[in-house]
Amino acid sequence: MTTRRQFLASGATAVAALATGISARAADTPGITDTEIKIGQTMPYSGPASAYGVIGRTEAAYFKMINESGGINGRKINLISLDDSYSPPKTVEQVRRLVEQENVAFLFNTLGTAPNAAIRQYLNDNKIPQLFVSTGASLFADPEHFPWTVGFNPSYQTEARIFAKHILANHPNAKIALLYQNDGFGKDYQTGLRDGLGADHASMVIKEASYETSEPSIDSQVVTLQGSGADVLVIAATPKFAAQAIRKSYDLGWEATRYLTNVSPSITTVLKPAGLEKSKGLIYGAYVKDVADPGFKDDAGVQEWRGFCDKYLTHTDFTDGNAAYGYSAAATMAQVLKQCGGDLSRDNVLKQATNVKDLSLPMFLPGIKLNTSPTNYNPIRQLRLAQFNGESWQLFGDLIAG
Amino acid sequence: MGARDILLARLGWALTLALAIAAPFALGSYHLYQLTQVLIYAVALVGLNLLTGYNGQISLGHGAFFAIGGYGVAILTTKLGLPYWAAIPVAGAICFGAGFLFGFPALKLGGLYLALATFALAVAAPQILSYTGFDAWTGGSQGLQLGKLKPPAWAHVSADTWTYGVALIAAILLFGFALNLVGGRVGRALIAIRDHAIAAETMGVNAPLYKTTAFGLSALYAGVAGGLSALAVGFVSPESFTLPLSLAFLVGIVVGGLASIGGAIFGAFFIEYVPNYADQLSVQFGESAKALPGAIYGLLLIAMMAAAPSGALGLIRKIVAALFGAERA
């Protein structure tokens, strides 16, 4: 059966190739037919990072919307999104399945620092684009050594440097405590703070504590940090742990200025579980619009997002910053595929992914423009600080480039 | 075991071996990679079964020995330039030492208390591996990248087939050793200690020695499996060896059948394939069920235990008995 179908498909491709000439190139690339672009990703639908699963669901919904309106240049997008439980050996297995069994054209927005690190060599060896990886770890923007791996999130170090600038300007005598996840993500905040504070680093950061994603609770780390007498707390934690840290620091009666990493500002999955009252005063470096912010009530981008959620997702997803992130990543991918035109060879997909010019997205803050080039694999380089007032994030100050 | 059962068991092993050797000729690279994982898990499960199934010492921490083996091979090959075929036995020996030493405090702890102590081992492993002080050796939280396993020129096979072959040879050696062990004097001593430690000692069995050795051997199996895993995956990081891995091993030996060597193969198939099926099944319930693979895995596990409370091998024995009638021993 399969052979016959393949035979028919190849026959159809050959006819189309004769007709247009352009499609011949498409037929050379796995996952590309005249009617379909097959792409793959891994997501932690189960396990400690499962709060991010909504990103994969939103992206699938976005491509569904694109497909219902005719696809891109006549081709429908088929996203195969597999669960890796945030376990690198599982990621390798699933990515091999995507590449060798499902024959995807390329990988899109695979989530996590360690999972992406585990598959990077394999994908680069086989010249398969690993596009817009869902992590801000600085090691994924390395065009010289890993030309097929392109980053997406603003780098964690960038955000930490922006925090440092803000601390120096507003609390020059601050005593800083840092809570970080013990991996590349958390340590980037350590590095970024060190860079941003410069000579003052040693005297200002008085206590650091780390945790593992396998720990059920990080209350003891928060207690230790409070005990140090710090008056600024930087929380570099993924959603579940960020919620714990926010709640615990409040329950302890610790009146510190709290900075929160921009992987965890979601009101739905972080602040509500932590308690909205307990989240008051948090500061983070924003690039995604917060739908609860009254300032964006009549914003065209938010209206578009609301319409999308009504049709393809749920109301809970509408308020989830992670979902809005997924929407934006998928829109970036769609833009790159549009730029590709009829040539969907892996070479051209990479070329267009590293040739994004001043792209504004409906759910990214006004003024934020995505740019990539063959030497710049970090599309998002601007952030704006925002503070939580108990109901929504309030933006303040200007866009800052870190 | 009667003559018929022995014959059936031998037939089973011969068939398994024949299938394992035929696999690379019939399967594509991805499926071969999955089978390599099955072999690796099977080796670890045999090790855990020697300890838990045969000797009655519960371990929730075999992921830690798996990690030591994995990091051992990664460090030996990338930092010290040892060839992989030498690194695997060395990593196994290191794990034997680690397991043997851990066996001493384990002597003081029985049942659930030992389970808790080993649980601590599993929780601590990822933390210790990402400790900054060891960065130069372990790569810290970024992990270590291993080169791809290169088949020698004379072999004329792909890297995947070669990796599978290496895992298969290791598995054959270790399965053979385990079968010999449990079939003989040592195996009887291990079982006697599990069933009644005082009676065993009265019969002249040196319980502390056997128990610590069982721990060491069990850790050796886990370590070799971890080393093979590092070679197959080509990457180790603290996130590769978290608590769920240790729990998966325990699930594997219970599903396969406690105190059975052959059961490890069924257990290995279960922990490799069932989470994938759970993921695929969860899609059938619509997009919003995408977050449910864990719940579906749980249901499948309950169904499995209800259908085969004595493990997959126990179920097969029951079916054989029902088909041919129980045999007098």
pLDDT category at B250 given cuts 50, 70, 90 is very high
Chain A residues whose beta carbon lies within 8 Å of the beta carbon of residue B140: 187
What architecture is the B3-324 domain classified under in CATH?
Answer: Orthogonal Bundle (1.10)
pLDDT for B289 equals: 55
Q: Is B239 on the interface with A (CB under 8 A)?
A: yes
Length of chain A in terms of residues written:
402
Q: Is B229 on the interface with A (CB under 8 A)?
A: yes
What are the structure tokens assigned to B130, written together? 């990402």
pLDDT for B320 equals: 83
A87/B244 CB distance under 8 A: yes
Q: What is the pLDDT of residues B182-204, one digit of tens each?
A: 999 999 999 999 999 899 999 99
The pLDDT mean for chain B works out to 90
Report residue B307 CA to chain centroid gap.
23
- Which amino acid makes up residue A331? A
Distance CA A292, CA A72 (A): 32
- Where helices occur in chain B by DSSP H, the ranges are 3-26, 29-49, 62-78, 84-108, 111-129, 135-138, 159-183, 185-195, 197-202, 207-233, 243-256, 263-284, 293-307, 311-324
> Which residue of A45, A86, A96 is in closest CB contact with B290?
A45
Least Cα distance to A169 among A200, A192, A190 occurs for A200
The distance in angstroms from the start CA to the end CA of chain B is 6
Q: What is the pLDDT of residues B21-46, one digit of tens each?
A: 999 999 988 999 999 999 999 999 99
Chain A residues whose beta carbon lies within 8 Å of the beta carbon of residue B292: 45
**Using an 8 Å Cβ cutoff, are A32 and A105 in contact?**
yes
Chain A residues whose beta carbon lies within 8 Å of the beta carbon of residue B293: 45-46, 83
Q: What is the pLDDT of residues B60-76, one digit of tens each?
A: 999 999 999 999 999 99
User: What CATH class has A156-286?
Assistant: alpha beta
Half-sphere exposure of A295 (CA within 13 A, CB side): 11
CA distance A334 to chain B (A): 21
Every domain of chain A with CATH number 3.40.50.2300 lies at: 2-154+303-376, 156-286
Chain A residues whose beta carbon lies within 8 Å of the beta carbon of residue B127: 182, 212
Task: Cite the beta strand spans of A110-263 per DSSP E.
Answer: 130-131, 176-181, 205-211, 232-236, 257-260
Q: What global pTM score does this model have?
A: 0.84
**Using an 8 Å Cβ cutoff, are B266 and B110 in contact?**
no
CA distance B147 to chain A (A): 9
What are the structure tokens assigned to A8, written together? 């028919």
pLDDT for A138 equals: 82
CA distance B297 to chain A (A): 10
pLDDT category at B149 given cuts 50, 70, 90 is confident
Distance CA A296, CA A327 (A): 17
pLDDT for B228 equals: 97
Backbone φ, ψ for residue A260 (5° rounding):
-125, 135
Chain A residues whose beta carbon lies within 8 Å of the beta carbon of residue B279: 45-46, 82-83
What are the structure tokens assigned to B30, written together? 């991805």
Please enumerate residues of A whose Cβ is less than 8 A from a Cβ of B: 45-47, 50, 53, 56-57, 60-61, 81-83, 85-90, 92-93, 96-97, 100-101, 114-115, 117-118, 121-122, 125, 139, 182-184, 186-187, 212-215, 314
The distance in angstroms from the start CA to the end CA of chain A is 56
Pick the residue of B132, B146, B235 with the most A CBs within 10 A to test the interface with A by mutation: B235
Distance CA A200, CA A172 (A): 10
Burial of A3 (0-12, 13-18, 19+ CB in 10 A): exposed
pLDDT for B323 equals: 83
Distance CA B301, CA A19 (A): 54
Structural domain boundaries in chain B: 3-324
Per-residue pLDDT of chain A in tens (402 residues, 90 and over written 9): 445 555 455 544 444 444 444 444 445 789 999 999 999 999 998 877 888 889 999 999 999 999 999 999 999 999 999 999 889 999 999 999 999 999 999 999 999 988 999 999 999 999 999 999 999 888 898 999 999 999 999 989 989 999 999 999 999 999 999 999 987 789 899 999 999 998 877 789 999 999 987 788 999 999 999 999 999 999 999 989 999 999 999 999 999 999 999 889 888 889 999 999 999 999 999 999 988 888 898 999 999 999 999 999 988 889 888 899 999 999 999 999 999 999 999 999 999 999 999 999 999 999 999 999 999 999 998 999 999 999 889 999 989 887
Q: What is the pLDDT of residues B261-274, one digit of tens each?
A: 999 999 999 999 99
Residues 6+ apart with CB under 8 A from A21: none
Chain A residues whose beta carbon lies within 8 Å of the beta carbon of residue B33: 93, 96
> Which residue of B29, B240, B288 is in closest CB contact with A87?
B240
Distance CA A145, CA A287 (A): 28
Distance CA B280, CA B225 (A): 27
Q: What percent of chain B has pLDDT over 70?
A: 96
Q: Which residue of A has its CA nearest to B241?
A: A87
Mean pLDDT over B227-254 rounds to: 93
Angle at A83 between CA A82 and CA A85, to 5 degrees: 155
Q: What is the pLDDT of residues B120-132, one digit of tens each?
A: 999 999 888 877 7
A92/B275 CB distance under 8 A: no
pLDDT category at B4 given cuts 50, 70, 90 is confident
Q: What is the CA radius of gyration of chain B?
A: 20
Handedness of CA A112, A114, A117, A123 (dihedral sign): negative
B141/A89 CB distance under 8 A: no
A213/B242 CB distance under 8 A: yes
Q: Which residue of A has its CA nearest to B290?
A: A45
Tell me how many residue pairs between chain A and chain B have CB atoms under 8 A apart. Answer: 116
The CATH number of domain A2-154+303-376, selected from 3.30.1490.190, 3.30.200.20, 3.40.50.2300, 3.30.413.10 = 3.40.50.2300
pLDDT for A46 equals: 83
In 3-state terms, what secondary structure has residue A20?
helix
Q: Which residue of B has its CA nearest to A50?
A: B291
Q: At what angle do helices B84-108 and B207-233 cross, to 10 degrees?
A: 140
Distance CA A222, CA A244 (A): 9
pLDDT category at B93 given cuts 50, 70, 90 is very high
pLDDT for B286 equals: 65
Distance CA A31, CA B276 (A): 22
A186/B141 CB distance under 8 A: yes
**Using an 8 Å Cβ cutoff, are A245 and A273 in contact?**
no
Distance CA A329, CA A147 (A): 20
Pick the residue of A145, A212, A315 with the most B CBs within 10 A to test the interface with B by mutation: A212
pLDDT for A20 equals: 46
What are the structure tokens assigned to A400, written together? 């800052």
